[in-house]
Amino acid sequence: MAFKYVILGGGVAAGYAAREFANQGVKPGELAIISKEAVAPYERPALSKAYLFPEGTARLPGFHVCVGSGGERLLPEWYTEKGISLILSTEIVKADLASKTLISAVGDTYKYQTLIIATGSTVIRLTDFGVQGADAKNIFYLREIDEADKLVEAIKAKKNGKAVVVGGGYIGLELSAALRINNFDVSMVFPEPWCMPRLFTAGIAAFYESYYANKGVNIIKGTVAVGFGTNGNGEVTDVKLKDGRVLEADIVVVGVGGKPLTTLFKGQIEEEKGGIKTDSFFKTSIPDVYAVGDVATFPMKLYDEIRRVEHVDHARKSAEQAVKVWDLIKRLNSNFYVPNSVMMLTEMFLKAFCIDLDTYFQFAIFASEQGKSISEYDYLPYFYSRAFDLSWQFYGDNVGETVLFGDSKPTSPTHKFGSYWIKDGKVVGAFLESGTPEENKAIAKVARVQPPVESLDQLATEGLTFATEM
Ligand code: FDA
Ligand code: NAD
């Protein structure tokens, strides 16, 4: 099969890219999405939240993209109407970028003219470290919907049982809460001195740890799982910790991090910081190949640094940015009928003067002809999480000194508190628990504008008003 455009991967970025392709007028038959998963693109964050709840449960088709950002829900019929081929339950096992060919596990061949790599991340497994018994039944990881379905079945089968959650990051915190809501006796184990260490300060973490403890979650810090006991059916029965403790378990959920799925392209494409290196328009080192979402290592203009981001907001926005760029080049070609040889000569000429071809086209030719341009991706990092009745948002960069503000007592009825990160005398990051939409907007603005601060004490006293009155 041959397509003009192929999106490899059928997750969040793929769904948002498809919507943008449709907005830009992709023709029927031109675009295909190839996905290992059996369902159309959906909002992955739901899997660790309402998908697991005993009440108010989320199920497909309720959370297909793009509902997560308040947009239209793209049901499978939408793709049919637009003439977009959804090639599901199809794992690509070989990619040859030189011949523009993808080969599936059953040997089918897919040719493309332009490829968007949107393969996302996969989980790090305890079996990767040779942890004894880590392949036992009822040890779960959570990335895709079929894994969430297996977990839901186990939650029903082991009703009111004991669960051990290994990992103290996003999955650890969200799954401990979901299992507790399902009335499991939950222990959460992680090696660091406090939970979510890659974002939380000790002060922020102290609130969540106490809050979780009050909800009945047993938090065990500073140690790791080194083995699992099993019964005659091969089901997990206990978790052995490095410090010698043994925890009974009917279910274990592991969230010890993810890694971007770049293996198909190893040696064929430039990589950096574990991901596929792109420019600000998500073009990779290979012509006609783009990378978006979790797999892309892109220039983060705000910090003048290249980074990879494993969060849904960036997956959505990077996908839209990549397709907009594609559309611009396509329209440029069709509007001006530039032959390939002329394009190549122009590119060589511009490169000699260190001018990027796209930048030239976007800001010079197309902008002036159409009165339109596409700016470089200028991403403000945005992460969030929800668990129990808590909900936090973070914007910016978590570097430098920190100031905790507000009411962070775990027993407080409002628990509205937050933190600022200050670097070189400027506020560069802001975190807020239980903010209103306006307050969240205000902290986002602070992180983007990076206002100067003279005194950290004064900032702590002003707290949230520093953001809301800016
Ligand atoms: P994504 O993982 O969504 O999609 C990748 C797709 O590619 C999958 O369909 C996969 O099957 C497919 N694929 C991979 N290799 C393939 C191959 N060889 N052949 C065919 N198909 C292939 N973020 C956030 O900001 N807030 C949140 O609350 C959450 N919550 C959350 C919960 C859970 C359970 C997870 C796992 C993740 C989150 N995230 C999150 C992170 C967020 O979901 C993530 O950053 C985006 O889904 C990334 O979007 P991508 O499209 O890049 O990958
Ligand atoms: P993570 O990086 O957030 O957390 C990994 C945690 O694993 C570490 O904090 C550490 O506590 C723990 N750990 C590491 N080695 C360990 C070991 N040997 N034993 C016990 N604990 C160990 O990764 P995650 O929570 O697994 O999440 C996976 C992916 O899913 C990430 O890309 C994340 O961004 C995404 N996700 C995001 C959200 C969100 O943004 N709200 C929610 C769920 C998942």
Q: How confident is the chain (470 residues) per 10-residue block, as mean pLDDT?
A: 98 98 96 98 98 97 98 98 98 98 98 98 96 98 98 97 98 98 98 98 98 98 98 98 98 98 98 97 97 98 97 98 74 50 49 45 34 80 97 98 95 93 98 98 98 96 96
State if residue 92 touches ligand 1 by the CB under 6 angstroms criterion: yes
**How many Å apart are CA 264 and CA 102, to the nearest integer?**
10
Model pTM above 0.90: yes
Beta strands in 51-155 (DSSP E): 85-87, 92-96, 101-104, 109-117, 121-123, 139-140
Other CB atoms within a 10 A radius of the CB of residue 145 amount to 19
What sign does the CA torsion over 113, 117, 118, 124 have? positive
State if residue 396 touches ligand 1 by the CB under 6 angstroms criterion: no
Ligand 1 mutation pick, 6, 39, 44, 393, max ligand atoms within 8 A of CB: 44
State if residue 166 touches ligand 2 by the CB under 6 angstroms criterion: yes
Burial class (CB in 10 A: 0-12, 13-18, 19+), 99: exposed
List beta partners, residue 387: 390
Burial class (CB in 10 A: 0-12, 13-18, 19+), 314: buried
**How many Å apart are CA 178 and CA 56, to the nearest integer?**
12
CB 278 within 8 A of CB 289: no
* Tokens 């602070």 sit on residue: 446
Q: Write down the pLDDT at residue 326.
A: 64
Ligand 2 mutation pick, 127, 144, 171, 174, max ligand atoms within 8 A of CB: 171
Rounded to the nearest whole angstrom, what is the distance from the C-alpha of residue 121 to the centroid of ligand 1?
6
Which ligand places an atom closest to the C-alpha of 256? Answer: 2
Ligand 1 atom with the smallest distance to the CA of 122 is 2
Ligand 2 mutation pick, 190, 212, 261, 388, max ligand atoms within 8 A of CB: 190
Q: Identity (one letter) of the amino acid at 348?
A: M
Q: Write down the pLDDT at residue 330.
A: 59
- Conformational region of residue 274, where left means phi above 0, alpha means psi within -120 to 50, and beta covers everything else: left
Rounded to the nearest whole angstrom, what is the distance from the C-alpha of residue 407 to the centroid of ligand 1?
34
**How many Å apart are CA 172 and CA 254, to the nearest integer?**
7
Ligand 1 atom with the smallest distance to the CA of 295 is 52
